[in-house]
Structure 1
């Protein structure tokens, strides 16, 4: 695996970089690799950003030394122009970086409304400012290039219907508040409002005086069914997982396999590395357009076809 990383992240190679700084989380920025070092048996990479500057005059490019899991090659571009669809996950070029969002409206003139969950903001973009959202997983882009495998861009695990969001249903809710961003918390639907939003009660988060569970109003962009339960034999190095931590499920990456039952997980959002038992981990799934999508399942399918 180390040799594979070295072949991808050579000195001088162009990469995309995820940042943990406030105001920059959820975005990928273009950069170049300057140096690679090993510290405490972990590969650290020094990069220089192409669009972020270190001074106000804009004469010096920002440099940082980062964990290798915060880097990836630049995503490929489709060979043909494509029309984006409602509810499709995309990256939008904004404020010098690529930010992950979801298409909420298809407008005339090849323009689209994009909702950014991290900022709870909706902005309008032209098609040329968007790209299909992809994840870098075990040396493959997920979803793969459309010309490689159009039929394999998602794995359907569960279909959404109205029964998923009825009163009393158990769901998962994400929060955009500081200290909670990037996690999903289990909740119960108390009521569906006329606006289309939901009143929920968390099952693990309590109010400040610890007298009751927190209730909150959430919109459809911040609620999903509970992922299907799966039995996983073992997780692989650099696999995306959800880890049960601080009463919620947090997205991380397997950075070290300590044993068959223990894994070191790196969290991009906080730059933390924490060891978990296998029983506290689950495969990371995304709820996209009424379907559970697994990057690892797609990758396995694509790898078999290649």
Structure 2
């Protein structure tokens, strides 16, 4: 993909991150994408480069004894205020959340509940881990200033309680479901992911040729070709990196800003977020994994979906569609 652009500095952000401010820090290091760690702003790191800050982490330490908090110089584009949390929240099936794990907040999706515990699926690591409600919060994107998407629901809930009109709609979760065992037949259309550096967050269309051993399939890509360009590339793929082809989710009018989408680029579908709606059905898409922003036509985008426990989860409206 193209070279990474430098983060855009905003004067309003400088005024927010004053010394002593509690913040959250993101990382683009392999294995840490999609996570946020709390820390405190110590000061600007350099007068020559005002877009860098010295941060002291809250839960990360530079010594094994855990007595010396880790300090690190961070780019402005990796900082945001601490994400807000409702005092009370009933999490719903397929809802996007942040789970507190390994001293940081990790982005995932609710896939089940049992005995007061919640199962969360992490797209980046393809893991499913169980958490208590206290270790979860609704996933939010910072829009700048004090604005978040989705906004804090606490005030609205308090008003409903005062009026005696607290709604229970959507506050029940589906029964916990066992992970569906996937089996693909010869000729099935699938999509394949890769753990190789530079391909994180991408899915490539392929066709199943045959199973090869336990939990592996030989597939033929529909757009990737061999080095000599004589035929389509064939490869043995572990079942953890294969999913059915997602159903069509047609967006007739237009995508909205902050919609999570897949963008068709370099023969694959790459996960990104609509950062700006342009004219003539064009959009700018921001890729969190690479800090890149690129322009796409409407026809080159589709709503992002996750295949979890035998269901397709459409992230635009939290909908699920059975497959």
Normalising by the residue count of structure 2, what TM-score does the alignment of the two structures yield? 0.62
Which secondary structure state, in structure 1, belongs to the residue aligned with residue 222 of structure 2?
strand
Query: What's the CA shift for 1:189?
Result: 1.8
Q: CA deviation at 1:73?
A: 4.8
In the alignment, structure 1 residue 171 sits paired with structure 2 residue 202: no
Residues 232 and 286 from structure 1, CA distance in 2 versus in 1: closer, same or farther, beyond 3 angstroms?
Answer: farther
C-alpha change, 1:231 and 1:280, in structure 2 (3 Å) is: same
- Please give the secondary structure, in 1, of the residue aligned with 2:190: strand
SS in structure 2 opposite 1:151? coil
Q: Deviations over 1:32-89 (max 9, x none)?
A: 57899xxxxxxx7968363476977945522422438x7475263674899x99x998
Specify the SS of the correspondent of 1:279. Answer: helix
Structure 1 gap ranges (5+): 1-5, 37-43, 155-159, 300-306
- State yes or no: 1:74 paired with 2:79: no
| 2:315 corresponds to | 295
Task: Give the direction of change, closer, same or farther, for the CA distance of 1:198–1:234 in structure 2 (3 Å limit).
Answer: same
- How do 1:1-306 and structure 2 match up within 5 A? 10-11=16-17, 14-31=22-39, 48=55, 50-51=57-58, 58=68, 61-67=71-77, 71=80, 73-74=82-83, 76=85, 79=88, 92-100=99-107, 118-119=124-125, 127=132, 131=136, 134=139, 136=141, 139-141=148-150, 151=170, 165-192=184-211, 195-211=214-230, 212-220=232-240, 222-298=242-318
Structure showing greater relative contact order (alpha-carbon pairs closer than 8 Å, 6 or more residues apart)? 1
| 1:231 alignment partner, SS class | coil
The CA deviation string for residues 92-126 of structure 1, in whole angstroms up to 9 with x for no partner, is 5444323346899999x99999876645678x776
Q: How far 1:220 moved relative to its partner?
A: 4.1
User: Could you list the per-position Cα deviations for residues 180-228 of structure 1 after superposition, in whole angstroms to 9, with x for gaps in the alignment?
Assistant: 1111111112234563443322212233443441322221464233232
SS of residue matched to 2:316? helix
Q: SS at the partner of 1:296?
A: coil
Aligned partner of residue 67 in structure 1, secondary structure: helix
Tell me the distance in 2 between the aligned counterparts of 1:106 and 1:266.
32
Give the root-mean-square deviation of aligned CA atoms: 4.8
Q: CA deviation at 1:230?
A: 0.7
In the alignment of these two chains, the number of paired residues is 275
Distance in 1 between residues matched to 2:95 and 2:245, nearest whole Å: 18
CA change 1:210–1:286 in 2 (3 A) is same
Change (3 A) 1:190 1:126: same
- Structure 1 residue 270 displacement after superposition: 0.6
- My pick for the range that moved more, 9-18 or 59-68, is 9-18
Q: Distance in 2 between matches of 1:200 and 1:16?
A: 41
187-196 or 246-255, which moves further after superposition? 187-196
